Structure 1
Amino acid sequence: MKKNKVWLVTGAARGFGFEIAKAVLESGDMLIATVRSNPQVLENALGNHKNLKVALLEITNEASTKDVAKQAIEYFGRIDVLVNNAGYGLLSAVEEATDAEVKANYEVNVFGLLNVTRAVLPYMRKQRSGHVINLSSVGGLTGVTGWGLYGSTKFAVEGITEALATELAPLGIHATTVEPGFFRTDFLDGSSLTRSENIIEDYKDTVGAMRDYATQVNKKQPGDAVKLAQAFIKLANSESPPLHLPLGKDTLVYFKAKMDSFYSDIEIWNDTITGTDHEDAL
């Protein structure tokens, strides 16, 4: 028989987080769902489920993350699955965004994720089991025009998760990074996406075109968030979960194009690449 798991999902008020929260409860598992405000709204939206506890969390506040992890243990006794979902997008040319805009994005998408992870891992290490699932993006696999700065936060999540997986494996804990493509959520709305205040005319044909596209494609993206949530349930119940889980055909297209270009560069520059070692290392 399936053993019920205890999940902690950040950013559960909307988008991926909300759909994952619904799927977790429908599966029979238990859930700590975090929000920044108005917990009763989410409780009502999820049907005031008996297996649900909604907790207030500010992921940029380390004390808040420790408090939520403690609440989860006190309420359910353990944490089996951590889903670091909370985050937001920044649409901007690399040059356009201010120092403050970039730092704010990193504060949530990277340092906030680390705060929550550090708060939860002591409990997973004690129980010698668990699964950390970090939300990345297709933009964490390859640079995309207009999304370079946001994507760089997800590149950081990729590197953190890859190292984390090797560090946690001997302790019986898994780590996975999930890379969704373009899914039909509220990600492109003002609630989940910021745009740089500064706009440079020279980028109108590249980043400007992406801004227009983001507006036009909103709520028309190919990915189905409900199906994504089911993929998370399958992932959490796998005995041998992958380190990377790209979701959406568009993600594979972007990644393949990057790798094809990467391998082409290696082939063309192979002599230079292999010619930089010391003679005694040959």
Structure 2
Amino acid sequence: MRENNMAEGSAAGTADSNQKTWLITGVTSGLGKALALAALPHMRAAGGGAIVQMSSQGGRMSFPAAGSYSAGKFALEGWSEALSGEVAPFGIRVLIVEPSRFRTEFNSAGVLNWAGKKGEYDGVVGAIRQDMAAADGAQEGDPERAAEVIRRVLELPEVPLRLPLGAEAVANLSRTYEENLAALEKMKEYSVAADFPGMKAAQRAFRQGASAVTPAEPA
């Protein structure tokens, strides 16, 4: 099993974030992907394995002060979803873990990256900054229990692509999915009107049983 848990927290308004903040986000995300790719030849040779990508509830939703952090997690999730379809024929599973707050050092003063502040956004992100700092040592999530849950899920006959961790993540992501589905339905009439009249929706290859592809024999 290969676990990718490379990340650095950043609490700043999107307009406050500087180039260093975005560079750190991109580098940590990129290193995690590189390590996962490095493990793939060994997993293919072994005939299976599991890649656990530590994302966040912030990889499926975002909010003020979490823009750069969520950008990295959104990218990780999109990349991991594509990867899961590519490696499934080799018996390799990909699990994207989406935790809420867990009692690690993530919210500690030495880890949480406070980007430069612009006074005009204090009313929007100030309370969120304070909340994130105050959570240090008081997070409801237990890292040891989380590890055990991940282990149990990986032993299931059908491993899901995504695993929210923690009651807050379940509540927030449930609300996010419901709101997104409602918005999709509300805008559906406008959305489909953009196609040429009389055209049927495309049947893309990635929706036609890609997991059943037989891998090529090694040279």
- TM-score (ref. length: structure 1): 0.68
Aligned to 1:234: 152
Deviation at 1:238, TM superposition (A): 2.8
Question: Which residues in structure 2 correspond to 1:149-188 (within 5 Å)?
Answer: 149-188=68-107
Contact 1:143 1:151 in 2 (8 A): yes
Report the number of matched residues.
200
Instruction: Supply the AA of the counterpart residue of 1:234.
Output: R
Q: Name segments (4+ residues, structure 1) moved above 6 Å.
A: none
Aligned to 1:143: 62
Write the distance in 1 (CA, Å) between the matches of 2:83 and 2:110.
30
1:8-33 CA distances to partner (integer Å, 9 max, x unpaired)? xxxxxxxxxxxxxxxxxxxxxxxxxx
Write the distance in 2 (CA, Å) between the matches of 1:124 and 1:164.
14
Aligned to 1:122: 41
Write the distance in 2 (CA, Å) between the matches of 1:152 and 1:188.
18
| RMSD between aligned residues | 1.4
Aligned to 1:279: 197
Write the distance in 1 (CA, Å) between the matches of 2:19 and 2:102.
29
Deviation at 1:112, TM superposition (A): 0.6
Structure 1 residues 150 and 278 mapped into 2: Cα distance closer, same or farther (>3 Å)?
A: same
Greater relative contact order (CA < 8 Å, ≥ 6 in sequence)? 2
Write the distance in 2 (CA, Å) between the matches of 1:255 and 1:237.
24
Contact 2:21 2:68 in 1 (8 A): no
Structure 2 residue 114 is matched with structure 1 residue 195: yes
Q: Structure 2 regions of 5+ residues with no counterpart?
A: 201-219
Write the distance in 2 (CA, Å) between the matches of 1:243 and 1:269.
27
Question: Which residues in structure 2 correspond to 1:214-225 (within 5 Å)?
Answer: 214-225=132-143
Deviation at 1:100, TM superposition (A): 2.2
Matched position secondary structure for 1:218: coil
Instruction: Supply the AA of the counterpart residue of 1:92.
Output: A
Contact 2:96 2:163 in 1 (8 A): yes
Structure 1 residues 146 and 119 mapped into 2: Cα distance closer, same or farther (>3 Å)?
A: same
Aligned to 1:92: 12
Aligned to 2:2: 82
Aligned to 1:42: none
Matched position secondary structure for 1:132: strand
Instruction: Supply the AA of the counterpart residue of 2:23.
Output: K
1:198-233 CA distances to partner (integer Å, 9 max, x unpaired)? 201121122111111112221112211121011122
Deviation at 1:191, TM superposition (A): 3.8
Write the distance in 1 (CA, Å) between the matches of 2:5 and 2:110.
15
Contact 1:139 1:148 in 2 (8 A): no
1:211-258 CA distances to partner (integer Å, 9 max, x unpaired)? 111122211122111210111221333332111000011011211222
Deviates more, 1:208-217 or 1:130-139: 208-217
Structure 2 residue 134 is matched with structure 1 residue 204: no
1:28-77 CA distances to partner (integer Å, 9 max, x unpaired)? xxxxxxxxxxxxxxxxxxxxxxxxxxxxxxxxxxxxxxxxxxxxxxxxxx
Deviation at 1:264, TM superposition (A): 2.4
Matched position secondary structure for 2:106: coil
Matched position secondary structure for 2:123: coil
Identity of aligned residues (%): 26
Deviation at 1:93, TM superposition (A): 0.8
Contact 1:183 1:221 in 2 (8 A): yes
- TM-score (ref. length: structure 2): 0.86
Write the distance in 1 (CA, Å) between the matches of 2:63 and 2:173.
11
